[in-house]
Structures are given as structure tokens and as C-alpha cells.
């Protein structure tokens, strides 16, 4: 690993060509700790080292991994809200040639996707002057799977949480093992899941009104179907009910005339995030 210090945009003269790769929509950066993974950001043009560190919003892609498109969809939002947006890329094929799901489940048998994201946050902070103690996390579809499981393991790192249309949900259930429940989270991750740590956190669950298809849902595993419904609508309602039972005051936003479409629900997501940033 190189010992070279990462350059910030304000380390360079204003007319240096490198500034364009470090502000606005940035280049894709390999994670120094593990270059199999990478991330890009949207950095507001007025950001500099003399103001307080900017709030950080993280948006996690779905199975098709449209990370750059997702980053660009947050450009106007980042400029308007004065936040830095980070979008990780978890490539397919990490734990095997047909792997598309490991990051969603946090992959205790492979790599720790949650720790990978936290390493990205720390690396970004060294270059872009962002707030790292707590950040705003959003994910949709596969990213929604990642986001709510990350929240179980690291609630203390979150300023808000937005979970969109997860195809599989992990319920707060001490009688079922991961990923269906949370009984063995301590064994799998070294972290005891504490529902109380999520109480008081601003939480959004969001889904399209017509997101009832099941063609792209993963087949049940050897333990049988998850007890949370046959489509994403049923599953997000089951997660909502489960969280409310544990005192987690999550809102459930259903977007009219919308199916399984990340970019169609983004305006609703961004309104939620803007309200959280305003706090």
C-alpha cells in the first residue's frame, strides 16, 4: 500500500486539471484497503477546508450496480443541500463467479461489506473534509437490503436511514438465524443487535405502489421462504410492522404509480434526506 498522502482539491491550484476529478462528480477511486471495491462522490463546488466538515450522504446501488448513474442523480441535491454524496461500488463476482448478493447480506462467510463501507468513509474524510461520526444512509433494492442490515450492526454511525424496496428483509427476531433473523448476529459479526439503538433515529421505508413483481426476487434458501411475504410490498410492510413492534418509529412512504424503479422514488427519498439534513 502506498504511503502517499491523498490529495484534496484545495491542495491544487484552482486551474489544475486534477481539481475537476476531485470536485463535482469525482473519478472512481479504488479503496486502498481492498482495491476490489471502489467509490465515487459528488462534492459541491463551494466546498472547502475552511468551513465545518460537510454532512455525508451515502447511496447504495442495487443488483445492477448503476453506481455512477445513482451518483449523478444526487448532483443537484448535493449542491442544493451542501452535502457530500458517496456512492460505493460492490462489484458482482466477489465471492464466486456467480455472486451478485454477497454485499446485500454483509457476507459473513466472505468479506464484511459493512466494514468495507466504513473504510470508504474514513478514506473519503481524509481527502474531502466530511463528517464521519454519523452519516445519512440510503439504499434501494439490493442497496435497501444492505442498508437495513448495516443499521443493525452500526446504528451509532447513522444520522438517518432510508431503506427502499428490499427483496429480502432481516427481521428483528431472536429466534431465527441470519439473514432471516438476528439470533446469531453476535456469532456472525461480533456485534449484538440492539433494537433500542435504532429508536429515535429518523427512518424511512419507501417503495413504489406497483412494486408487486416477483420475477427478480431471489429464490428461497435451504431453510425455506422467509416469513415476510411473497413480494417487496408485503416484505417492506412486514419489516415496518416488525420495527414498530420494537419501538422504531419508521415512516413508510408509498410512491404512487411506480413499480420497482429506484430513480422514480428518489424525489421522495431526497425530500426525507433534506429534512434530516436540515436538523
**CA count, 13 A, side-chain hemisphere, 115:** 10
Q: What are the helix (H) ranges across the chain?
A: 19-22, 67-73, 75-81, 113-128, 142-153, 185-189, 232-245, 262-278
In the structure, what pLDDT confidence band is assigned to residue 93 with cuts at 50, 70 and 90? very high
- Residue at 81 is within a domain: yes
pLDDT at 220: 60
- Residue at 109 is within a domain: yes
CA distance 279 to 275: 7
DSSP string, 46-114: T--TTSPPBPEEEEE--TT--HHHHHHHTHHHHHHHT-EEEEEE--TTSSSTT-SSTTTTT-TTS--HH
- Residue at 188 is within a domain: yes
- Residue at 94 is within a domain: yes
pTM for the full predicted model: 0.95
- Residue at 148 is within a domain: yes
User: In percent, how much of the chain has pLDDT > 70?
Assistant: 95
Instruction: Look at the alpha carbons of 102, 229, 232, 153 in this order and tell me if their dihedral is positive or negative.
Output: negative
Compute the average pLDDT of residues 207-220. Answer: 81
pLDDT at 33: 95
CA distance 110 to 86: 24
CA distance 162 to 22: 27
pLDDT at 112 over 70: yes
CA distance 82 to 44: 6
**Closest residue by Cα to residue 248 from 109, 152, 146, 132:** 152
Max Cα-Cα span within the chain? 60
CA distance 69 to 263: 9
pLDDT at 221 over 90: no
User: Domain with 189 in it: what CATH number?
Assistant: 3.40.50.1820
- Residue at 95 is within a domain: yes
In the structure, what pLDDT confidence band is assigned to residue 225 with cuts at 50, 70 and 90? low
pLDDT at 135 over 70: yes
pLDDT at 1 over 80: no
Domain housing 157: 13-278
User: Domain tally for the chain?
Assistant: 1
pLDDT at 228 over 90: no
Compute the average pLDDT of residues 87-108. Answer: 94
- Residue at 47 is within a domain: yes
Query: pLDDT: is 264 or 10 the higher one?
Result: 264
pLDDT, the chain, mean: 93
Amino acid at each position: 500500500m502506498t504511503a502517499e498522502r491523498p490529495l484534496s482539491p484545495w491542495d491544487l491550484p484552482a486551474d489544475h486539471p486534477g481539481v475537476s476529478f476531485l470536485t463535482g462528480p469525482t473519478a472512481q477511486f479504488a479503496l486502498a484497503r481492498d482495491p476490489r471495491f471502489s467509490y465515487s462522490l459528488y462534492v459541491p463546488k463551494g466546498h472547502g477546508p475552511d468551513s465545518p466538515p460537510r454532512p455525508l450522504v451515502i447511496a447504495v446501488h442495487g443488483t445492477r450496480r448503476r453506481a455512477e448513474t445513482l451518483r449523478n442523480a444526487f448532483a443537484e441535491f448535493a449542491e442544493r443541500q451542501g452535502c457530500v454524496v458517496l456512492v460505493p461500488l460492490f462489484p458482482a463476482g466477489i465471492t464466486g463467479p456467480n455472486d451478485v448478493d454477497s454485499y446485500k447480506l454483509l457476507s459473513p462467510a466472505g468479506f464484511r461489506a459493512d466494514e468495507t463501507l466504513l473504510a470508504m468513509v474514513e478514506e473519503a474524510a481524509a481527502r474531502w473534509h466530511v463528517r464521519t461520526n454519523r452519516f445519512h444512509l440510503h439504499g434501494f433494492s439490493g442497496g435497501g437490503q444492505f442498508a437495513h442490515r448495516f443499521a443493525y450492526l452500526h446504528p451509532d454511525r447513522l444520522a438517518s436511514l432510508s431503506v427502499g424496496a428490499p427483496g429480502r428483509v432481516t427481521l428483528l427476531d431472536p429466534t431465527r438465524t441470519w439473514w432471516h433473523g438476528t439470533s446469531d448476529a453476535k456469532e456472525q459479526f461480533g456485534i449484538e443487535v440492539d433494537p433500542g439503538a435504532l429508536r429515535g433515529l429518523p427512518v424511512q421505508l419507501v417503495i413504489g405502489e406497483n412494486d408487486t413483481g416477483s420475477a427478480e426476487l431471489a429464490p428461497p434458501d435451504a431453510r425455506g421462504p422467509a416469513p415476510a411475504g411473497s413480494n417487496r410490498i408485503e416484505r417492506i410492510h412486514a419489516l415496518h410492522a416488525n420495527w414498530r413492534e420494537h419501538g422504531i418509529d419508521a415512516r413508510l412512504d408509498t410512491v404512487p404509480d411506480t413499480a420497482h424503479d429506484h430513480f422514480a422514488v428518489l424525489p421522495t427519498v431526497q425530500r426525507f434526506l433534506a429534512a434530516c439534513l436540515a436538523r
